[in-house]
């Protein structure tokens, strides 16, 4: 990707200086199934669960400065660039769908952190909490993405953030609430609807990639995004961790599905092309 290191985005909230703690579970995002299956913890939780009454940073709470390596400092600048670029794209596109975009915050943490959806833990991987409209990520997740799953490249990292901010777009549009209601009415549809929701977030990531292709993308970046989408497919994860594939337990979609919908969003460049619920 073409980018220049700069300052930290005002939409990046750095909690890495805090100590970790245990507690309830927060919603899972793109990496939740990945890391938790590997660690044999849990898999496939309700991404809209309200959790306990633990809340995020309530304002006026000053975090101590994080101890970081030069590589981490550069990673934070990269994440800041990606967050700002993605949100600028959606601020331009969303009014075309009859809604106004509002910025989400991206929270950096280590080990564990409070959220409005319960306690977020590193083992969950990156996730979006609709209750406080924040994306949470422990940067150590990227090490797993590269080493364990072979999803190399900076655009693979950007895809992760674009997917989670895709959930924020869904929240603004009310898609998540509609899905939650449908799941409540028909519990048997919970997993299939979760898959459709996740695939739409993949498609939204592709829409952003299309918007960024002239100024940000370099040759090979789209392939990095496709590889990252494949790396976190339910079938690939299940095969690696259990040796078997159970399609009925999918919550995020197969590798083929995730690549297909990311590519569809990229090729179309329009969020209207991402209606995974009617296909």
Full domain range(s) for residue 113? 12-278
The answer to whether 122 and 110 are in contact (CB under 8 A) is yes
**Which residues contact residue 76 at a Cβ distance below 8 angstroms, ignoring those fewer than 6 apart?**
8, 12, 14, 68, 108, 139
Q: Is the pLDDT confidence value at 76 over 50?
A: yes
pLDDT average, residue stretch 131-146:
91
In a domain, 3, yes or no: no
In a domain, 2, yes or no: no
pLDDT average, residue stretch 146-175:
91
In a domain, 79, yes or no: yes
Q: Is the pLDDT confidence value at 69 over 50?
A: yes
The better pLDDT of the pair 224, 234 is held by: 224
Which of these ranges, 51-55, 171-175, 217-221, 259-263, has the smallest mean pLDDT? Answer: 51-55
Nearest residue to 170 (alpha-carbon basis) of 134, 197, 195: 197
Tell me how crowded residue 248 is: count the other CB atoms within 10 A of its CB. Answer: 6
pTM for this structure?
0.82
Give me the pLDDT at residue 210, please: 96
What distance in Å separates the CA atoms of residue 30 and residue 251, rounded to the nearest whole number? 10
In a domain, 206, yes or no: yes
What is the count of structural domains for the chain?
1
The proportion of the chain whose per-residue pLDDT surpasses 90, expressed as a percent, equals 51
In a domain, 7, yes or no: no
Q: Is the pLDDT confidence value at 49 over 70?
A: no
Instruction: Label each residue of the chain as H, E or C.
Output: CCCCCCCCCCCEEECCCCCCCCCCCCCCCCCHHHHHHHCCCCCCCCCCCCCCCCCCCCCCCCCCCCCCCHHHHHHHHHHHHHHHHHHHHHHHHHHHHCCCCCCCEEEECCCEEEEECEEEEHHHCCEEECCCCEEEECCCHHHHHHHCCCCCCHHHHHHHHHHHHHHHHHHHHCHHHHHHHHHHHCHHHHHHHHHHHHHHHHHHHHHHHHHHCCCCCCCCHHHHHHHHHHHCCHHHHHHHHHCCCCHHHCCCCCHHHHHHHHHHHHHHCCHHHHCHHHC
Q: Is the pLDDT confidence value at 135 over 80?
A: yes
The proportion of the chain whose per-residue pLDDT surpasses 70, expressed as a percent, equals 81
In a domain, 240, yes or no: yes
Give me the pLDDT at residue 263, please: 95
The answer to whether 68 and 76 are in contact (CB under 8 A) is yes
pLDDT single digits (tens) 163-179: 999 999 999 999 999 99
Give me the pLDDT at residue 36, please: 41
């Amino acid at each position: 990707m073409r980018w220049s290191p700069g300052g930290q985005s005002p939409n990046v909230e750095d909690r890495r200086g805090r100590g970790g703690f245990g507690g309830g579970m927060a919603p899972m995002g793109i990496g939740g199934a990945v890391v938790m299956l590997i660690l044999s913890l849990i898999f496939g939780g309700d991404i809209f669960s309200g959790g306990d009454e633990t809340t995020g940073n309530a304002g006026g709470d000053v975090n101590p400065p994080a101890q970081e390596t030069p590589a981490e400092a550069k990673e934070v600048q990269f994440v800041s660039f990606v967050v700002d670029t993605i949100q600028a794209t959606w601020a331009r596109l969303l009014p075309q769908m009859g809604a106004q975009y509002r910025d989400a915050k991206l929270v950096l943490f280590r080990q564990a952190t409070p959220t409005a959806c319960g306690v977020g833990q590193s083992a969950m991987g990156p996730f979006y909490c609709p209750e406080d409209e924040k994306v949470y990520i422990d940067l150590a997740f990227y090490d797993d993405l590269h080493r364990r799953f072979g999803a190399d490249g900076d655009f693979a990292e950007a895809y992760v953030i674009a997917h989670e901010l895709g959930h924020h777009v869904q929240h603004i549009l009310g898609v998540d609430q509609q899905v939650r209601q449908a799941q409540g009415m028909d519990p048997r549809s919970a997993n299939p609807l979760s898959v459709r929701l996740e695939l739409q977030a993949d498609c939204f990531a592709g829409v952003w990639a299309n918007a960024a292709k002239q100024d940000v993308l370099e040759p090979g970046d789209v392939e990095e995004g496709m590889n990252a989408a494949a790396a976190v497919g339910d079938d690939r994860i299940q095969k690696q961790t259990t040796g078997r594939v159970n399609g009925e337990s999918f919550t995020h979609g197969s590798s083929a599905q995730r690549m297909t919908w990311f590519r569809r969003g990229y090729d179309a460049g329009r969020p209207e092309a991402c209606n995974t619920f009617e296909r």
